[in-house]
Amino acid sequence: MKFFCYYLVFAICLDLSAQNKTLNAQASLFKTLKIKEYAVYETIMLGDSVVQKKYLSELVKLNPDGTVAEEYDYNPEGNLEGFISQYEYKNGNLVRQTMQWIEQQERDIIEYEYQNGLLVKQKEYEAGILVGWHQYQYDKKKNIIRQQYFASDGKPDTSVRYHYQNGLLVQQIRLNEMGEIIFSSVKEYSKQGWLLKEIIQEGKKGEQTQIVQTYTYDKQGKLLKNVQQNLAGNPIFEVDFQYDSKGLLQKVTFYDHMTTLFTIEEYEYHYL
C-alpha cells in the first residue's frame, strides 16, 4: 500500500515511540469501527489528462485488533504484482514481516526482537539468507538514541543518532561506515507537539543537497498536507490528505511539481 509506505516514511521522521503511538491509534480506530479490510484505488493524471484510469491497486486485510495482517498489490490489468506482505504479531508487537514475490519462490523476511516492549533488533533476510540487521539503543525515557546497521558479515555499516528536547526528536543524523555525515534533519514542532517543519540535508560534506518539509494538520492533529520545497522556497513534491466524518483516510493526492504528474489514491473500507 503506497500510503502505508509513505506513512511509514513520515513516521520514520519521528522517533520510534511516536511512530508506534500513531500506528496504534490507527489500529484502534480500525478495531472500534470493526473494519476487516480496505481497498485502495489509484488514478494517475498528467495535468488534465488521464494517464492511468482508476483501478484497484492495493487490498489490505486487517486482524480483529485493527493491525495489518496482509497486503496485496495489483497492476492496472487486475493481476497481483510485486509481492504479498504478511505480518505476524506477539504480545501486540510486530515480530515478523514476510514478503512473497508473485513470480518467484523466494521470500524476503524481516524479523523484529523486543526487550521490555522496545524494539532492539531487526534482522533482514533475502531468499532465506541473512543480509544484515539493525540494533537500537534507548535512553532512560525510552527514546531511541542510536540505530546501528550491520552487514551480513557482522561489520558495522551506517548508523543513526537521535537527539531530543522536551521529549521531542529535534535532530537526526545518519553516518556512513567511515563516520561521515550523509544525512541530517532538524525538526520544529507546534505547542501540541506536532511536527511542523523539517530541514533535511543529504550527501557528504561539500556534496549536500537541502530540502525543507512542512506539515499542516487539522484541529484534531490529523495530517492534512506535507510539502517538500527547495532552498528557494519552490515546491518539489506535495501530498494532500482527506478524511471522512469517522476520521478514516479517504483520499491522498501526490503532486510532482516538477512534471505536473499527480496520483490520486481513494480508500474504500469493508466492515465485519
Domain boundaries defined on the chain = 2-271
Packing angle, helices 2-12 and 16-32, rounded to 10? 140
Neighbours of 162 (CB within 10 A): 20
In the numeric block, the cell 512473497 is attached to: 100
What is the model's pLDDT at position 14? Answer: 46
Closest alpha carbon to 136 in 153, 108, 116: 116
Question: Exposure of 121 by Cβ count < 10 A (0-12 exposed, 13-18 middle, 19+ buried)?
Answer: middle
What is the model's pLDDT at position 150? Answer: 96
Going by their DSSP bridges, the two strands 144-151 and 156-165 should be labelled as antiparallel
Q: Grid coordinates in use for 247? A: 476520521
What is the model's pLDDT at position 4? Answer: 38
For every one of its 272 residues, what pLDDT tens digit does the chain have, with 9 covering 90 and above? 444 334 333 433 445 556 666 778 889 999 999 999 999 999 999 988 999 999 999 999 999 999 999 999 999 999 998 779 999 999 989 999 999 888 777 889 999 999 998 999 999 999 889 999 999 999 999 999 999 999 999 999 999 999 999 989 999 999 999 999 999 999 999 999 999 999 999 888 777 788 999 999 999 999 999 999 988 888 889 999 999 999 999 999 999 988 888 999 999 999 99
Bridge partners, 96 (sequence order): 88, 111
Q: What is the DSSP string of 106-134?
A: -EEEEEEEEETTEEEEEEEEETTEEEEEE
Contact (Cβ atoms closer than 8 angstroms) between residue 224 and residue 216: yes
Provide the CA 26 distance to its chain's centre, in angstroms.
Answer: 13
The CA distance from 156 to 150, in Å, is 4
| pTM for the structure as a whole | 0.87
Provide the CA 7 distance to its chain's centre, in angstroms.
Answer: 4
Question: Exposure of 218 by Cβ count < 10 A (0-12 exposed, 13-18 middle, 19+ buried)?
Answer: exposed
What is the model's pLDDT at position 13? Answer: 43
What is the model's pLDDT at position 47? Answer: 86
Q: Grid coordinates in use for 146? A: 542510536
Q: Grid coordinates in use for 127? A: 531468499
Neighbours of 68 (CB within 10 A): 22
What is the model's pLDDT at position 18? Answer: 61
User: Which CATH code of 2.60.40, 3.40.50, 1.10.3470, 2.40.160 fits the domain covering 2-271?
Assistant: 2.40.160
Contact (Cβ atoms closer than 8 angstroms) between residue 192 and residue 185: no
Closest alpha carbon to 12 in 160, 126, 122: 160
Contact (Cβ atoms closer than 8 angstroms) between residue 149 and residue 158: yes
Give the burial string for 145-154 (b: 16+ CB within 10 Å, else e).
eebbbbeeee
Contact (Cβ atoms closer than 8 angstroms) between residue 136 and residue 146: yes
- Collapsed DSSP state (helix, strand, coil) of residue 19: helix
Contact (Cβ atoms closer than 8 angstroms) between residue 90 and residue 76: no
In the numeric block, the cell 487490498 is attached to: 59
